[in-house]
Chain A
């Protein structure tokens, strides 16, 4: 058994991803088949955002990874050895 906090964090990640996946799937796959005057469309942003938002998220993620790697490599710069 995992401890309480670990279980809570883990399961909330699961729930969050399921919600995100469901929302995004409806947005991209279901909505085009639904009439444009159906109220369902009210809950979703205009379709262009279904490309822009993930795009921005991906850029932010890559920037974070790049920054992290750069910081580590910077810290590893060894000064020239003096024997």
Chain B
């Protein structure tokens, strides 16, 4: 969300300096506030909606549940990505071969190493 400004920014002239930048931090704070408000509404019955007791019992640990779920998701994702992180053995072998070839060729061309 860039708002253009008429101030000279010192950068390349085609792109004006923004007066306000929505940083990732601000996006997160906004998202957390929205979710937090919804949670508080249900857990503490702020609008007097008189929801059934079991729903409130499930709702109030939700922030913690979301954190635990995110933790599990992170662990699973990193674990999966480590398990599928390619080991490029052929690339290393190819490089070794080419290094030999290069040294030979360069010596012929007069390089003194």
Contacts and interface: CB of A to CB of B under 8 A. Distances in A.
Interface of B: 54, 57-58, 61, 64-65, 67-69, 71-73, 75-76, 78-87
Interface residues of A, number: 28
Contacts, number: 84
* Dominant secondary structure at the A interface: helix
Given A28-B58, A51-B61, A10 B72 contact: no
Contact of A21 (B58, B69, B84, B85): B69
Contact of A54 (B54, B67, B84, B86): B67
A50 interface: yes
Interface stretch (A12-20, A37-45, A74-82): A12-20
Contacts of A3: 87
B58 A29 contact: yes
B65 A18 contact: no
A72 to B, nearest CB: 21
Interface in A29-68: 29, 32-33, 50-51, 54-55, 58
B63 to A, nearest CB: 10
A13 B79 contact: yes
